[in-house]
Amino acid sequence: MSDRTLSRSEGAVERWLAWRYLATRQREGFVSFIAIFSLIGVALGVATLIVVLSVMGGFRASLVGRLIGMNGEVVVTAREGKLEATAPLLDALRRAAGVKAVWLTLEQQALATAKSGQTRGVLVRGVRVEDLTSRAIVTRNIIQGELGAFGTKRGVVLGDRLRIALGLRVGDTITIITHRANESGTIAPRYNDYEVLASFATNRYEFDNALVFVPLDMLQDDLEVDHNSLSSIDLEISNADDAPKVAAAVRASLKRPDLKVSDWETLNARFVGALEVEKVMMFIILTLIVLVAALNVIASFTMLVRVKRGSIAILRTMGASPGTVVRAFFLSAAAVGLVGTGIGTVLGLVVCAYLRPIALGLGSLLNGLGGGAAEINFITSAPARVQAGEVLAVVAIALAFSLAAAAYPAWRSARVDPVEGLRHE
């Protein structure tokens, strides 16, 4: 018989033995029971890791999308005072690599009041008509009114929470109160009336509760500033992840020490950092589930080795090599982890695929219990963002734990003395 044929026959014997060790007889049923629950533990751990990481990725993408949608991925501001938006500066920004659009912004803190007598602190943001209508976060979330008259009427578009708080409806008048310095050095209030044209709901509290859009040229006239005076210039780029590189390139090309070029990650460093830390900690915590299941594999198959000492001794006396016994136990223990990892991966991806209906049902339940509709809708509508790299990392960790767990019982099986094994049989 050739070495190749012998190797094949030994492999078949090892696989048969591995299956026999998994399908234990009734008197070793407790060991099989633990092995089954170890498999379930590995599957649930892998599925939970995939689902949680995907949901957190969806939350991050949704939150970042709302954040960037209002402000742009790269922001250019003056280090002191207002920014002068000259034609050469705007042309240079439009020509910068990776820049899709340039948005002009003038911001002013103010008070908003209505005939109802309600008053709220607001952030008035002057924007061009084309800049506002190109922002999907606003155009897709209009609750009342429409944007068609923005720029042609003396009107504003504001957050829906703010509209409700002030008791306003579309067509009502809102008064924006700002301040100005007199020649004597005193501060005097400035009152400007606008018509409410539309309201939006982004499900971000700071936008919906305080943001008011005014046509840029109209706000510049009302604040009595030059038409080149801006608070910032926002740059829309193709890929948000490239914002630091684009910001560095813009900074190098402008060579303007009086200007500050920042990317969205730098401007929201604490927010982004908190999301990353939370994601890493959740990954570590949930990985412990897979580790516990792997430890159960070690316990159950170590017990199986003790139960099968007589069988191992008989195999050894019949000519089976220690390697054959080791590989048989290794295959048997590893099968639990491998099958559990496969089932968990499929289960996790299926849950992610059908997460939206599950989330909508959860949202309906929470709404029925009296939860805040806007926050609940934001939480339950966040999509699961499945990333191949994360799924592969989870599978790799689960497989590593499973194979490591299978190694110890296999090593223990090789240390069974045939004489001692037959004595206890």
Question: For residue 210, what are the contacts with CB-CB under 8 A and spacing of at least 6?
Answer: 120, 121, 122, 123, 159, 162
SS3 301: helix
- CA–CA distance, 174 with 192 (Å, rounded to integer): 8
d(CA 345, CA 192): 59
Instruction: Give the pLDDT of residue 174.
Output: 94
The stretches in the chain having pLDDT less than 70 are 1-34, 183-185, 304-326, 329, 358-382, 410, 412-425
Q: Do the Cβ atoms of 176 and 107 come closer than 8 Å?
A: no
Q: Contact at 8 Å (CB) between 409 and 304?
A: yes
Residues 172 and 118 sit within 8 Å (Cβ to Cβ): no
Q: What's the burial of 297, exposed, middle or buried (CB within 10 Å: 0-12/13-18/19+)?
A: buried
Question: Could you give the 3-state DSSP secondary structure of residue 231?
Answer: coil
The pLDDT value recorded for residue 45 is: 87
Write the CA distances from 377 to 75, 120, 364, 368, integer angstroms. Answer: 30, 25, 9, 13
Q: Which residues of 124-135 are buried (b: 16+ CB within 10 A; e: fewer)?
A: bbbbbeebbeeb
For residue 71, CA distances in Å to 48, 109, 117, 419 come to 34, 16, 31, 77
Residues 6+ apart with CB under 8 A from 287: 45, 49, 397
Could you read off the pLDDT of 141-181 as tens digits, one per residue? 999 999 888 988 899 999 999 999 999 999 999 999 988 77
Domain limits of the chain?
Answer: 3-65+272-423, 83-230
pLDDT digits (tens, 9 = 90+) for 64-116: 777 777 888 899 999 888 888 888 898 988 888 888 889 999 999 999 999 88
Closest CA to 78 of 183, 281, 233: 233
Note the pLDDT of residue 26: 44
**In 72-126, alpha helices (H):** 87-95
- What are the DSSP calls for 118-185, one per residue? -EEEEEEEEE-HHHHHT-HHHHTTEEEE-STTBTTBSEEEEEHHHHHHHT--TT-EEEEEEEEE-TTS
What is the pLDDT, as a whole number, of residue 52? 86
| pLDDT for the residue numbered 32 | 62
